[in-house]
Every structure is written in structure tokens, then in C-alpha cells.
């Protein structure tokens, strides 16, 4: 009998206890959901098929996609929450001349709760390359299937809708599942919904947006955007993603180039899930064969964990305003605290919102204004604006020429 080395016994024992404790703790979160990669594959395969011709806004094929989504919402028992059944029709300006008939598709899971979680994704894409946005020179007549952008996001909405509608759990939140049209034309569908909501937006505790979650690579981190829009995200999300061994990087901005922006500007905490840009982005080669269905199911499983964790919290999430996205990667010495309309084609740049106590608001600039000139710099694109900002110093005051409706104003902007 060898002398018993207690350390040999106790330490492994302690480890085992710890492990069990972790696993037990993990089980608090480890509600292995029934998220199915097969379902995800089924949805993406149809939505990104050549038959749907890239789901261009206002096309017959985009309508077929809307019908597919509405039919699925009905099948899983969601209430219609559009203005015409599941649909919320609206007019989308392709440009200053062409107006398209578009529609958001909206379904509601009523748990009789006083707060609601919005889960959304855009279902439109670039169609056959006649609408703007393609990254290939001669795009006309080429089907831009948009398997990752954004059939993957729509599949995420449909699969989460099925999960929460069928899980026999009455969460402390209702769920609004929404697929937006005309995102590629400038977030037009989500903006329209946020300005014409079919539920009381003040009951919305958070908005989750999926845009391109189909190209998961376990060697790379997924992006979780909107991190700065609630202090709670830093507490709730890491335990779940670490449990799922999901590498992630954070982006604090609430505003960005996708639909969560429209809810962020309504002072709703948002989260944005994204597996990253790739060489097929906005090209006909963004195809089904390149989608990682299992990887997407893994992301959705983690999202279920995050939703369950938020659902257990006693209080509503606190909203936080975040820094303007562009400022992070451009060498500005000054900013104006403006939220811009990325879809506007000029002349001037269009203001969607102003951040409190920032130079823009202090100067009297309002949402809806067009800024035509800053000092001697004429503005027609967001890049003109960024170029001009790079020329100014803190403490400097310059003139902003602003078009507000029919009126032209000259406002002094002092940078601080
Ligand atoms: Zn997209």
C-alpha cells in the first residue's frame, strides 16, 4: 500500500467538485436548445435559390419571399402583427424618381407579458443587380443570391421563432419577429417600422438584429455589435458565449450599417450578430454552398442562452447612447454627434438624429435637416462630410448651411 498522498486524492476530488459545480452552474444557462441546422439549411436553400432571383426590393420574387416568411409565421402559430395580416406594406424610394412597393413581415408571440423582445433581419437583397449596391462592375442581369446577406439572418429569425413558439415556456417577454424589406436601399423597412410601429415601442426591452450570420468560422470571432447600448450586455453575454466556447469580438456602437440602427435611435438597447465580411459580399457568388449551417445553429443556440438570461432579469434593461460609429476608424479631432441617413443621395447630407449636448445639437441642427455646406466645404456625400470634419480643430466655430424644409438656415457650429 503506498503511502497515501492525500494531495493526490483531495486535489482531483476538489477539481471534480468544481467541475460538477461548473457544469451544474452551466446548466443554469446550458438549456441545450432544439435549434436545428437542418431547419436553417431549409430556409436558406429556398430564400437564396435562383428561383427567388436575389430578392430585390419591390420585385415579384421578393414578394414570394415575404409569402414564405408569413406562411411560416402562421404555421408556428404567431399572431399577424402587420397592418395587412403579417405584412406591413410601405413605399420604398429607390431614388428620387422610382418608388417601389415593399413590405415588412411581422409576427407576434404573445406571452401576456409587459415587455417585448424584437428579433429581426432584412430579407431583401440586390436582386439581379439592377438596384445599387453590387460590388461587381457589370452587375445587371446577374442574380445576387444573398445566401449570407441575408437569407442567413432570416433563417435565424424563423428558427428562433419556431423555438420560442414551441418551447412550452411562457417567458417574461413577448416576442416580435420581423423581417425587413429595403435594407439594401438604406434601412428603409426598419426605419419605416420604427416610425410606424404596430406595437407600443416603449414596451420593447431590446432588439436583436441578424445580418450575415452564415459564414461562421470557429477560428474567427463573431462580432457582437451594440455592446455599448446597455451596461447589462457585459454581464449577461460573456458567460453564455464562454459556455459555448464561442469566440467573439465586441463593437460598442448602437448605430451601424444594418437594421438595429433604426431601433437604437428610438432609445432601445440593441444587439447585432455578424460573422464578418468576405470576398463574396454583395456579389453573385454569395451562394448557399458557402454557408456554414451548423455554425449558424451554434450562434442561434447562444442567442437562446442570452435571451433566457435577459428573461430572468428582474428589471428592464438600461439604455445607453454610444459614440458615433465612424469616429472610431477615422482620424477626426472633432465630431458633431450626428446620426446620418446612409441612404440619402444628396445634395447635402441628411441628418437622422442628433446626440445630446454635442456640437450639432448645440448649434440647433435637428433630425430631418440637410447640411449643404460646412465652412467652405460643400457636402454631397458622407465622405465629403468626413473629409471636412478632418479639417477642423477643437474650439473652432464654423458656419453650417442647413436646408430645413423650404427654409435655408446658417448655424454656427462650435467644436468641443
Ligand atoms: Zn445585409
pLDDT digits (tens, 9 = 90+) for 152-191: 999 999 999 999 999 999 999 999 999 999 999 888 999 9
Residue of 372 and 88 predicted with greater confidence: 88
- The CA 281 to ligand 1 mean position distance, Å, reads 9
> How far is Cα of residue 8 from the mean position of the Cα atoms in its chain?
52
- The CA 153 to ligand 1 mean position distance, Å, reads 8
Give CATH superfamily name and number for 338-414.
PDZ domain (2.30.42.10)
The cell for 367 is 433630425
- The CA 230 to ligand 1 mean position distance, Å, reads 24
CA-based torsion, 61, 66, 70, 75: positive or negative = positive
- The CA 258 to ligand 1 mean position distance, Å, reads 7
- The CA 30 to ligand 1 mean position distance, Å, reads 30
pLDDT at position 131, please? 84
The position carrying cell 450578430 is 273
pLDDT in tens, 191-238: 999 999 999 999 999 999 999 999 999 888 999 999 999 999 999 999
The position carrying cell 456602437 is 253
Q: Which CATH class is domain 30-311?
A: alpha beta
Q: How far apart are CA 26 and CA 309, in angstroms?
A: 12
Looking at 37-41, 128-132, 272-276, 353-357, which range is the least confident one?
Answer: 353-357
The position carrying cell 413577448 is 174
Residue 359 has pLDDT above 60, yes or no: yes
Cite the DSSP H helix spans in 167-251.
188-195, 233-243
- The CA 351 to ligand 1 mean position distance, Å, reads 22
| Residues, CB-to-ion distance under 5 Å, ligand 1 | 149-150, 211
Q: How far apart are CA 179 and CA 158, in angstroms?
A: 9
The ranges assigned to domains in the chain are 30-311, 338-414
Tell me the mean pLDDT in the region 38-56.
98
Find out whether 198 and 88 touch, Cβ atoms under 8 Å.
yes
DSSP secondary structure letter of residue 318:
P
Cis peptide before 347 (omega within 30 of 0): yes
- The CA 412 to ligand 1 mean position distance, Å, reads 37
- The CA 45 to ligand 1 mean position distance, Å, reads 17
Amino acid at each position: 500500500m503506498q503511502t497515501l498522498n492525500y494531495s493526490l486524492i483531495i486535489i482531483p476530488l476538489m477539481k471534480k467538485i468544481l467541475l460538477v459545480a461548473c457544469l451544474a452552474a452551466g446548466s443554469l444557462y446550458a438549456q441545450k436548445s432544439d435549434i436545428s441546422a437542418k431547419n436553417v439549411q431549409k430556409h436558406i436553400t429556398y430564400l437564396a435559390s435562383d428561383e427567388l432571383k436575389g430578392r430585390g426590393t419591390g420585385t415579384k420574387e421578393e414578394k414570394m419571399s415575404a409569402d414564405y416568411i408569413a406562411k411560416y409565421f402562421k404555421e408556428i402559430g404567431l399572431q399577424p402583427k402587420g397592418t395587412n395580416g403579417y405584412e406591413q406594406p410601405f413605399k420604398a424610394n429607390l431614388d428620387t424618381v422610382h418608388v417601389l412597393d415593399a413590405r415588412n413581415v411581422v409576427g407576434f408571440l404573445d406571452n401576456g407579458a409587459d415587455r417585448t423582445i424584437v428579433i429581426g433581419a432584412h430579407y431583401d437583397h440586390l436582386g439581379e443587380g439592377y438596384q445599387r449596391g453590387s460590388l461587381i462592375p457589370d452587375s445587371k442581369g446577374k442574380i445576387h443570391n444573398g445566401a449570407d446577406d441575408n437569407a442567413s439572418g432570416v433563417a435565424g429569425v424563423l428558427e428562433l421563432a419556431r423555438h420560442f413558439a414551441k418551447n412550452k415556456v411562457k417567458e417574461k417577454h413577448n416576442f416580435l419577429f420581423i423581417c425587413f424589406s429595403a435594407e439594401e436601399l438604406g434601412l428603409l423597412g426598419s426605419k419605416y417600422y420604427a416610425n410606424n410601429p404596430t406595437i407600443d415601442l416603449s414596451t420593447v426591452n431590446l432588439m436583436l438584429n441578424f445580418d450575415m450570420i452564415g459564414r461562421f468560422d470557429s477560428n474567427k470571432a463573431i462580432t457582437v455589435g451594440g455592446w455599448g447600448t446597455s451596461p447589462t450586455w457585459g454581464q449577461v453575454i460573456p458567460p453564455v458565449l464562454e459556455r459555448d466556447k464561442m469566440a467573439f469580438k465586441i463593437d460598442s456602437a448602437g448605430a451601424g450599417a444594418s437594421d438595429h440602427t433604426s431601433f437604437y435611435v428610438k432609445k432601445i438597447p440593441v444587439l447585432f450578430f455578424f460573422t464578418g465580411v468576405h470576398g463574396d459580399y454583395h456579389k453573385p457568388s454569395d451562394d448557399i454552398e458557402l454557408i456554414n449551417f451548423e455554425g449558424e445553429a451554434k450562434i442561434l443556440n447562444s442567442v437562446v442562452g442570452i435571451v433566457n438570461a435577459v428573461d430572468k432579469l428582474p428589471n428592464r434593461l438600461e439604455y445607453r447612447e454610444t459614440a458615433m460609429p465612424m469616429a472610431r476608424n477615422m482620424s477626426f479631432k472633432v465630431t458633431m454627434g450626428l446620426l446620418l441617413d446612409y441612404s440619402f443621395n444628396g445634395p447635402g447630407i441628411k441628418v437622422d438624429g442628433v446626440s445630446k449636448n454635442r456640437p450639432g445639437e448645440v448649434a440647433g441642427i435637428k433630425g430631418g435637416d440637410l447640411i449643404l455646406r460646412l465652412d467652405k466645404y460643400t457636402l454631397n456625400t458622407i465622405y465629403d462630410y468626413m473629409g471636412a470634419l478632418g479639417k477642423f480643430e477643437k474650439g473652432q466655430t464654423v458656419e453650417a448651411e442647413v436646408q430645413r424644409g423650404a427654409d435655408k438656415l446658417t448655424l454656427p457650429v462650435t467644436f468641443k
